Each structure stands twice: as structure tokens, then as C-alpha cells.
């Protein structure tokens, strides 16, 4: 199944980057889904636990309200004082003449859930009760009396069993209700889990840090494994590219069993191709040389013909056949130039070729570029010579320019001739193909120069493109890797 085009556009080009990209997306997706499921579970569990705890506290608070409602007003302070001297109960109790202003904790789902449950229980247990104020507050500045007294000012034995101040303060639930006009009952207590607010965030920063550490660890291990897997593929790619440029690379047979088999297969293929190329060159050379002998004999016999017109026709056919044999042999020699790659200064190579052309009386323009390429000197010179000779034959004026791209060098050879019909551009590289105006301009050509030039450029890992220039003439564009 082919990869969608939109995915191909966003995926990196290298296999290592693609695998790491897929691993990153996969791990992140699985972590996000797992965290979402886990957070939802923890949230539901916290809400259920808080609801059960709030219901328990609400019923205890309702019983306390009913108890103090049943007491005469003058007995209530005595009972409260006894409760304080006993060390406190679940609730810290006080009676005030008005509700105390409490600085509530900022909005949070769990405290809101507690308040909702307590109100619901009070409505069921004490339907005739007046206004009820329910808040959560921190104990540090929590007021407990109308005169402004705070929890911190109370004796320790009054609140040590009811509220939690040290070592870490816990949020205090404050319930205030008017049990009769001018008498507000003040109840303060802790939740069964004093630090229940910690559960309001199921994904604390510590968990995110753990997830990030897990992701980094997985990616590092993936990078090591993927690099270990793709390194042989990179070696195979480099060896294939070097072999395509005429070199004879050696691919080490080491690593996994699959890569060792691939290395052996690549070595065997390389040897077969090299033997084929050598055999082809020998065969082509032998055939070309062997054909010259019968062609020569036929020419001698042609001279003995009495009919002048027939003798001329035979000579023309034999000359054409001899030219084709010489061109085929030259094509093999020019395409199979065996030499090592070296760093070539284009200004020196092109400068000499331009100088020779000007000495021959041709008009040719070239500007120095200061660029270098890694190439086979004789082969590259042969390819450039073919293109420049074609331009000089078919155009009155030739312009050569060299441009630098990202990791590549572009050489443009443009003539000011008649150009080529668009439908004929694709056939120019075919052997022995020559257009009508080319045969008139250069009657001694074989139609092999462009094909030879393209083979040499491709052997260097480059590309040769032919196109008509917008202002007239044919333009040959050579793109070569810079290193």
C-alpha cells in the first residue's frame, strides 16, 4: 500500500529520521491516551471518595446543629467550653452573633463537590434550617469569632485534635448556620483525608516529568537501535552510489545475517557487472576492428567497378559504414575512461577550453566562478568538450556560466543558434540521431556526442538537461555534486 502524498510531504527524507519521528509520535500518542485514561480514573475515584467523606461529615454536622438547637441559649457556652477543655471533638464549635467572613479557597472541583453534598444532606436532615454558609479556608488567617480572633490565637489543646496547623497546614471546612435569630453556630473541621486537594490534579508536574523522562529514554534507545539497523543500509547506499560513479567499493560483510547476505549479493553483482562491462568493451572493440578489414576490401573491389555511378554509390555507403564503426568505437572509448576522481578547478579547465575556442576564431563568453568539483578530469573534459563543440557548430555565439547551489554546481552552455523543435528534444541523446540543420552545419559528426556527454555526467552522479532558451538557442545544463 502506497504512502499518502500528504504524509510523504511531512515525513523526513532519511530512514533514521522517519523511524525516530514515528517512534516519537507513537510514544507520545500512547502516553497521552494512557494519561487521559489514568487521569479520568483518578478523578472519578477522588470524586467518589470525597462525596462519601462529605456525606459522613454532613450528617455529623447536622447532628451537631440539632444538638445545639435543642440546648437553651445560656447552656451553649458551657457545653462549648467543656468540649474545648476535653481537647476538642471532630468539630471546633463556636457561637457568634453574626456570620464570620471566611476567605475561601479558590474555585476547585473537589471543594465544590463537598459543598454540594453537604447542602444536599442539610436540606434532607434540616429542612427548616435557615441560611447555611459553607466554605473551605486555610487555617493560617481563619477567623473563628466575631471579635476577629483567629485559629492561630487559640490555645493548642483546643484545636490540636480538630485542625491541622503543623507541619503542613490542611484546608479547613467551615460550616456556619443560624440556629436562631442572632445566634450563628460555627463549625470547623478537617476532611477525613486532610490533603484531599492534592487529588484535584490527577497529573501533577512530577508525573509529567516522569513521562518526559520515559519519552527521552525510549527515544535514546530507539536512536541507538535504529542507527545500528540503518548504518548498514547507509553503507550499502554509499557503495552503490560509488559503484555507479565507476569506482569499485568494498562492502564489509559484517553485522546482521540479513546484511551479510546483502553484502555478498552486492559483491557478486558488482563483479558480474564489471565482467560484463569489460566483456562488452572487448567485444565492441573486436567487432569494430574486425569490420574495418572487410570494409577496406570492399573499397578496393569498388575501385575495380567500371560503372562510375555505381562506384560512387558504393563508396558513399562504405564511407557511411566506416564512419559508424569509428563512431561506435570512439563512443566506447570516451564513455569508459578509467581514472581516479580528483578535485578540479573549473576556472582552469573551462578557461583552457575557452582560450582554445577563441584562438580558433569562435566567439565564446565565460566569467570566472572560483568553484571546484570532485570528478574524473579527462572524462569531464570530454563531456564539456562535446557540449561546447556542439554549441560552436550550431550557434554563432556561445555563453558559458557556472552557478553554485546547495551541495551542487550547475554549468550552463548556451548557444545562439536556431534551437531545437520541442518534440525533438527527447531524441537528441539517441545514438546516430542528427537533426536536419545539424547535418548541414556539421557533416562529419556521428550523432554520438550528446549521448557520450550524458553518460559521463551520469557516471559522476550528475544530470544533463537540454532545453530551448527563451531568447533563442539551445541550452545544456549540467548539474554535478560539489563533493
In the structure grid, which three cell numbers stand for residue 16, read together? Answer: 533514521
Look at residue 132 and give its three-state secondary structure: strand
In the chain, what are the domain boundaries?
29-200, 257-333, 342-481
Please tell me the class of the 342-481 domain: alpha beta
CA distance 396 to 390: 11
Q: What angle do CA 69, 72, 75 make, to 5 degrees?
A: 110
Neighbours of 303 (CB within 10 A): 9
For residues 464 and 431, what is the distance between their CA atoms, to the nearest angstrom? 16
In the numeric block, the cell 548541414 is attached to: 440
Q: Which of 144, 132, 133, 129 has its CA nearest to residue 69?
A: 129
Answer yes or no: are the C-beta atoms of 235 and 252 closer than 8 Å. yes
Rounded-to-10 torsion of CA 44, 48, 49, 55: 150
Q: Is 186 helix (H, G, I), strand (E, B) or coil?
A: strand
pTM over 0.75: no
State the CATH class of domain 257-333. mainly alpha
CA nearest neighbour of 12 among 226, 211, 215:
226
What is the chain's pLDDT, residue by residue, as a tens digit (483 residues)? Answer: 455 566 566 666 666 777 778 778 888 888 888 888 887 887 888 888 888 888 988 888 889 888 888 888 888 888 888 877 776 577 888 888 888 888 887 677 788 888 889 888 888 888 888 788 888 888 877 888 877 787 776 776 676 666 755 677 788 888 988 888 888 888 888 888 877 777 666 667 777 788 788 888 888 887 887 777 777 777 777 777 777 666 677 777 776 777 778 878 877 887 887 777 676 667 666 666 667 777 777 777 777 777 777 777 777 777 767 766 666 665 555 555 556 788 889 999 998 989 988 888 888 999 888 888 888 888 888 889 888 888 888 877 899 999 988 888 999 999 888 888 887 777 777 765 656 555 555 555 556 678 788 888 888 888 898 888 888 888 899 999 876
Amino acid at each position: 500500500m502506497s504512502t499518502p502524498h500528504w504524509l510523504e510531504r511531512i515525513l523526513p527524507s532519511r530512514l533514521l529520521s522517519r523511524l525516530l519521528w514515528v517512534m516519537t509520535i507513537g510514544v507520545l500518542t500512547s502516553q497521552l491516551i494512557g494519561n487521559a485514561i489514568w487521569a479520568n480514573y483518578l478523578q472519578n475515584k477522588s470524586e467518589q471518595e470525597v462525596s462519601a467523606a462529605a456525606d459522613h461529615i454532613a450528617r455529623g454536622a447536622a447532628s451537631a446543629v440539632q444538638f445545639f438547637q435543642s440546648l437553651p441559649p445560656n447552656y451553649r457556652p458551657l457545653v462549648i467550653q467543656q468540649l474545648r477543655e476535653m481537647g476538642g471533638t471532630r468539630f471546633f464549635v463556636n457561637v457568634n452573633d453574626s456570620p464570620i467572613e471566611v476567605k475561601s479557597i479558590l474555585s476547585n472541583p473537589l471543594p465544590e463537590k463537598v459543598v454540594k453534598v453537604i447542602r444536599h444532606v442539610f436540606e434532607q436532615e434540616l429542612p427548616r434550617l435557615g441560611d447555611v454558609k459553607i466554605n473551605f479556608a486555610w487555617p493560617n488567617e481563619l477567623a473563628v469569632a466575631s471579635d476577629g480572633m483567629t485559629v492561630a490565637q487559640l490555645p493548642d489543646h483546643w484545636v490540636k485534635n480538630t485542625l491541622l496547623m503543623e507541619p503542613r497546614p490542611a484546608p479547613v471546612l467551615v460550616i456556619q448556620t443560624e440556629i436562631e435569630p442572632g445566634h450563628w453556630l460555627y463549625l470547623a473541621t478537617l476532611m477525613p483525608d486532610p490533603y484531599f486537594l492534592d487529588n484535584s490534579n490527577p497529573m501533577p508536574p512530577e508525573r509529567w516529568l516522569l513521562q518526559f523522562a520515559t519519552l527521552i529514554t525510549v527515544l535514546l534507545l530507539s536512536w541507538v537501535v535504529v542507527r545500528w539497523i540503518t548504518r548498514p543500509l547507509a553503507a550499502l547506499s554509499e557503495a552503490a552510489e560509488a559503484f555507479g560513479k565507476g569506482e569499485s567499493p568494498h562492502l564489509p560483510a559484517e553485522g546482521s545475517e540479513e546484511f551479510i547476505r546483502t553484502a555478498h549479493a552486492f559483491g557478486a553483482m558488482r563483479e558480474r557487472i564489471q565482467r560484463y562491462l569489460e566483456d562488452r568493451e572487448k567485444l565492441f572493440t573486436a567487432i569494430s576492428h574486425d569490420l574495418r578489414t572487410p570494409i577496406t576490401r570492399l573499397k578496393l573491389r569498388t575501385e575495380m567497378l567500371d560503372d562510375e555511378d555505381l562506384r560512387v554509390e558504393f563508396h558513399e555507403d562504405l564511407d557511411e559504414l566506416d564512419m559508424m564503426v569509428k563512431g561506435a568505437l570512439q563512443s566506447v572509448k570516451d564513455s569508459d575512461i578509467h581514472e581516479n576522481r580528483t578535485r578540479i578547478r573549473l576556472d582552469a579547465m573551462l578557461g583552457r577550453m575557452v582560450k582554445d575556442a577563441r584562438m580558433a576564431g569562435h566567439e565564446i563568453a565565460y566569467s570566472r566562478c572560483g568553484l571546484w568539483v570532485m570528478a574524473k578530469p579527462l572524462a569531464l573534459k570530454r563531456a564539456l568538450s562535446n557540449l561546447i563543440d556542439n554549441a560552436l557548430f550550431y550557434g554563432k555565439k556561445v555563453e558559458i556560466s557556472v552557478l553554485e547551489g546547495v551541495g551542487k554546481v550547475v554549468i550552463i552552455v548556451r548557444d545562439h543558434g536556431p534551437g531545437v523543435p520541442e518534440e525533438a528534444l527527447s531524441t537528441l541523446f539517441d545514438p546516430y540521431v542528427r537533426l536536419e540543420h545539424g547535418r548541414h552545419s556539421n557533416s562529419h559528426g556521428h550523432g554520438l556526442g550528446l549521448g557520450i556527454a550524458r553518460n559521463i555526467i551520469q557516471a559522476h552522479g550528475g544530470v544533463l538537461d537540454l532545453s530551448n532558451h527563451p531568447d533563442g538557442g539551445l541550452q545544456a545544463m549540467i548539474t554535478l555534486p560539489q563533493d
